[in-house]
Amino acid sequence: MILDRNENKDVAVLLGAGSMGMAILRRVAAGKKILLGGRRQNSLDKAAESLRYSGYDVETFVVDAVDHVQVRAFAEKAASLGPIKIFIDTAGASPSQASPEEIIRLDLIGTAYALDIFGEVMAPGGAGVIISSMTGYMPHHLTPEDENALALTSTEKLAELDCLRDEKITNSGIAYIVSKRCNHLRVRTAAATTWAERGARINSISPGIIVTPLAYDEFNAPGTTYQSMIDTCAVKRAGTSDEIAAAGAYLLGPDAGFVTGTDLLIDGGTIAALKSGLFNLRAR
């Protein structure tokens, strides 16, 4: 049976088909052609099937977000399907899942490449959302000069920056904080340059503790401060992917037509509690 007679549909792209990405997609991709990207075909097949059984039109593409050649091929595939109006990047690894080097390669450099590459193919009027993290608001060693370099250095040269040397990135927690802070800075620059030239908008969301498989890996890791964050934050609970999806739909939709280059912190008040001295981050 033909469920959709439309041709030449707008395209919605998700890189990293995890919990938050899928939740955002469900809010914004009805009537569009979806391209799902992720590392493993079997996970992509499961995600695609759940979308198809809910009425979405989906294709999949195996892509490792740390490999910019693969990300470029993914973007070319997306562009071949039609005008790309939506780009969502949720590919990421958390501190308990990966080494400092892996986090820098995926969360920082991989995201920077994705911003560059999709900044070349977005359709006019399109919009993107990168999932960063509230950790981008946590204390770090970056000076204003370091931040300027992280914002403006070409992506191929990011790995050479002094602030990303092994002596500075001494553990996965620091790698994650710096990577997510860098996401904010790269989104700001991309919004003003490459994405602006395409007539497209780009923003990031910085979630607090959101219950997903990735978060469960963190809950189970030794020495985390998750319980104190939940206990001291204003809303006294963890968040859900659907709450992030509501914000994603806003940023990707027409009500946010004047919003670009910014980050939306959605953390139930955790950073407010940290900055008000209600809990301390333990060294990880």
Ligand X SMILES: NC(=O)c1ccc[n+]([C@@H]2O[C@H](COP(=O)([O-])OP(=O)(O)OC[C@H]3O[C@@H](n4cnc5c(N)ncnc54)[C@H](O)[C@@H]3O)[C@@H](O)[C@H]2O)c1
If one counts every other C-beta atom within 10 angstroms of the C-beta of residue 229, the result is: 23
Q: How many helices, marked H, and strands, marked E, lie in the chain?
A: 12, 7
Q: Which is nearer to ligand X, 151 or 211 (CB)?
A: 211
Q: Could you tell me the smallest distance in angstroms from the CB atom of residue 179 to ligand X?
A: 8
Tell me the one-letter amino acid at 197: E
Q: Which is nearer to ligand X, 120 or 217 (CB)?
A: 217
The residues of the shown chain that bind ligand X, judged by CB under 6 A, are 16-20, 38-39, 64-66, 90-94, 106, 131, 133, 207, 209-210, 212-215
Structure tokens at 72: 């470029």
Q: Which is nearer to ligand X, 18 or 173 (CB)?
A: 18
Calpha distance 146→183 (Å, rounded): 14
Calpha distance 284→7 (Å, rounded): 52
Q: Report phi then psi at 124, rounded to 5.
A: -55, 135
Q: Which is nearer to ligand X, 70 or 153 (CB)?
A: 70
Which among 55, 72, 50 has a CA at the least distance from the CA of 63? Answer: 72
Which among 131, 122, 47, 127 has a CA at the least distance from the CA of 89? Answer: 131
Concatenate the DSSP letters of all residues of 115-129 into one string.
HHHHTTTEEEEEEEE
Active site residues: 176, 180
